[in-house]
Amino acid sequence: MADFEKISELMQKGKADEVKQLCADALEEGVNPKDVLDKALLAAMNIVGEKFKNNEVFVPEVLIAARAMNFGLEVLKPAMVDDDIEEIGKVVIGTVKGDLHDIGKNLVKIMFEGKGLTVIDLGADVSADKFVEAAVNEGANIIACSALLTTTMTQMESVVKAAEDAGIRDKVTIMVGGAPVTEKFCDSIGADIYTADAATASEKALEACSK
């Protein structure tokens, strides 16, 4: 019988090859791939997210766990039948124009993926138009903007505006975050959701998609 606990532990340590092997073994044994995904990989990512939030692990540990998760996903995905890969939601994410801080954005992306969301990463220094264009092309439910500088957080307002201009404002949820951003700022620019950390962001994103 597949040991979800063990896969989770190895994933948290970033042991990618072992995770991959155990996922393959589980499939051999006839375990439902969706169960392996939910109970081992995504559960592990949740734990990593919490630990990061509490300063128990740091950036390298999160990135390496995410890599191990992706190794596991690689074997699980082809085995999943179509109803297993129901699309929960689609997110376009990026760091706003003029801002090249991308560590936080990358972690938010990882946590989103850890919730099973599909994420399109536009990278850093992303213009408002680019966010909206990608959201339209991809039919995204969420636009997620990260900013780390007080001089660039104002770009988020341009994203809200661009979504209005493109006529998609009522179809997308706009999420904002990054060190200088606050709830008050989020309200003042007419964005929808502010969260202070990546783990909470992924919970809120999931909620927004299941509405």
Which positions from 22 through 81 interact with ligand B1M, judged by CB under 6 A?
A: 59
Strands 90-95 and 142-146, sheet pairing: parallel
Residue recorded with tokens 């949820």 = 173
Among residues 54, 151, 164, 187, which is the contact residue for another protein, using CB under 8 A? 151
What would the two tokens of residue 142 be? 């969420």
* Residue 49 interaction partner, one of ligand B1M, another protein, none, beta carbon < 5-8 Å per kind: none
* Residue 144 interaction partner, one of ligand B1M, another protein, none, beta carbon < 5-8 Å per kind: ligand B1M
End-to-end CA gap in the chain: 36
Q: How far is the CB of 205 from ligand B1M (least distance, A)?
A: 8
125 touches another protein (CB under 8 A): yes
Under 8 Å between Cβ of 167 and 158 = no
H, E, C per residue of 69-107: HHHHHHHHHHHCCCCCCCCCCEEEEEEECCCCCCHHHHH
What would the two tokens of residue 105 be? 């954005």
> In terms of CB distance, is 72 or 94 closer to ligand B1M?
94
Residues that bind another protein (CB under 8 A): 14, 55, 57-61, 63-64, 67, 98, 100, 102-103, 106, 125, 149-151, 180
Residues that bind ligand B1M (CB under 6 A): 59, 99-105, 107-108, 144-146, 148-151, 175-180, 195, 197-198, 201
